[in-house]
Structure formats: C-alpha cells, structure tokens
Structure 1
C-alpha cells in the first residue's frame, strides 16, 4: 500500500514518507496516473518494467516528482536491481546515459539507472540517492515494485 504523501518542510510539494515502500503497478497507477499526462508517464513505466522483467530484473525502485504532489511532473526517475539480469536480454537503452538520458526519456518518458550504480555527484548508489529530497537534503521515500509478482505486469508481459 502506498503511504499518504506528507509535507516536508522546505520542499515545494508533499513527498512519500522516508523509507522504501512496496507497491504494485496497479497501486502506482491508481495513486499517480491521475490525468492524461501522468497516465502517459505511467504507460512508459509499465513498458519499461515489462522490458526489464523479460531480461530477468526482479525489482524497480520508483522516484522523482511523479511520486510526489507535484501537479505536472516532467518525467519519472527509476532504478532497477541488476541482480540476476541477463545482459544479453537487456534492452541497450537501459545503459544509455548520454545527453541527459535522452533515449530513455524518448522511449519510456522517464530515466533508469542500475540501483547499485554510483551517482557520482553525491557518491551514493542510486537506490540511496533517490531517498534524499533534492530541495532539503532530508530523507524521503521511494516505491519498490517487485516485477515477477506484479499481477498488472504479468497480464501484459510473457517472459
């Protein structure tokens, strides 16, 4: 269950409370795909999750203004657990970081990083970096989506 967004003093909009919160894609859709633009972002997320699942990815962590109270997020940010991923089956776009992840944004409407990859700006793995509010430096939450067990995704993807 996705927790209620909470104000974070100094942040311009409410965010998820600190921690990693399990969620299904259906829950993400209900909570955040609330208008045409957010639905378009959600569709890109689902497409990417399906592609990652086919490569053996088990977990995606969802972050960014998409999972906040920002009225019109520009995109979503995600990172994926590389454990067990078959690189031969992984779509190359997940490893293209040039030009501000332009290829990923064009294809999926969001950005993806391996969760263990270091964010060089702060010296933390992306899964940890995503749990820091960029406006305040304080802890905030992210969502964890277990791909193989997700009923919404299993209806759309045949691994």
Structure 2
C-alpha cells in the first residue's frame, strides 16, 4: 500500500515518507494516475518495466515528481535492479545515457538507471540518490515494484504472446 504524502520543509510538493514502499502498478495507477499526463507517463513506465522483465529484471524503484503531489509531472525517474538481468536480452535503450537520456524519455516518458550505478553529482548509488529530496536535501520515500510478479506486467506479457 502506498502511504499518504507528507510535507517536507523546503520541498515544493508533498512527498512520500522516508523509506522504500512496495506497491503494485495497479496501486500506482490508483494513487497517481488521476489525470491524462500521469496516465501517459504510467503507460511508458509499464512499457519500460515490461522490457526489463524480458531481460530478467525483477524490481524497479519509482521516483521523481510523478510520485509527489505535483499535479502535472514532467516525467518519472526509475532505477532497476541489475541482479539477474541478462545483458544480451537488455534493450540497449536502458544503457544509453547520451543526450540527457533522450532516447529513454522519447520511448518511455521517463528515465531508467541501474540502481547500483553512481549518480555523478552526489556520489550515491541511484537507489540511495532517489531517497533524497533535491530541493531540501531531506529524506523522502520511493516506491518498489516487483515487476516479475506484477499483475499489470503479467497481463501485458500474456497479451503480447497472443
């Protein structure tokens, strides 16, 4: 279950409380898919997560203005757990960070980073970097999605097989 957003001093929008909060894509749709822009972003997230599952990825972590109270988020940020991912099956778009990750943004509406790589400006792995609110420096939460067993992804994969 996704917890209620909380105010964080210095943040322009309410954010998730500190911690990693497990949720399904269906729960994310209910909590954050309340306007057309958000539904478009969510569709791209599902597309990206489905491609990652095909490569053996089991988890993603969702961050960015999408999981805040910002009414019209610009995008979302996600990082993916590289454990079990077969590089031979990984779509090259997930390792293309050129031009501000333009190919990822064009295809999925957001950005995907391996959770273990270091974000250059902070020196933190993306999984940790995502848990710091960028305006205030305070701790905030992110959402973990077990995509390998998520009902939305399984429906998508079943549909793609038919």
Place the TM-score, normalised by the shorter chain, in its bin: over 0.9
Counterpart of 1:120? 120
Say whether 1:143 aligns with 2:155. Answer: no
Aligned counterpart, 1:88: 88
Q: Indicate yes or no: 2:92 matched with 1:105.
A: no
Deviation at 1:101, TM superposition (A): 0.6
Partners of 2:140 and 2:17 in 1: CA distance: 5
Residue 78 of structure 1 aligns to a residue in which SS? strand
Shift of 1:33: 1.0
TM-score by length of 1: 0.98
The DSSP-based 3-state class of the residue aligned with 2:138 is coil
Moved over 2 A (4+): none
Question: Aligned to 2:135, what secondary structure does the other structure show?
Answer: coil
Following TM superposition, by how much is the alpha carbon of 1:131 offset from its aligned partner in structure 2, in angstroms?
0.1
Q: How many angstroms apart in 1 are the aligned matches of 2:151 and 2:107?
A: 23
Supply the RMSD in Å over aligned alpha carbons: 0.9
Hey, what does 1:30 align to over in structure 2?
30
The equivalent of 1:15 in structure 2 is 15
Instruction: Show structure 2 runs of 5+ residues with no match.
Output: none
Which whole-Å CA distance do the structure 1 matches of 2:71 and 2:35 have between them? 10
Tell me how far 1:152 sits from its aligned partner.
Answer: 1.5
1:47 counterpart = 2:47: yes
Q: Distance in 1 between matches of 2:112 and 2:155?
A: 23
Secondary structure in 2 aligned to 1:3? coil
Higher fraction of helix: 2
Q: Residue 61 of structure 2 aligns to a residue in which SS?
A: strand
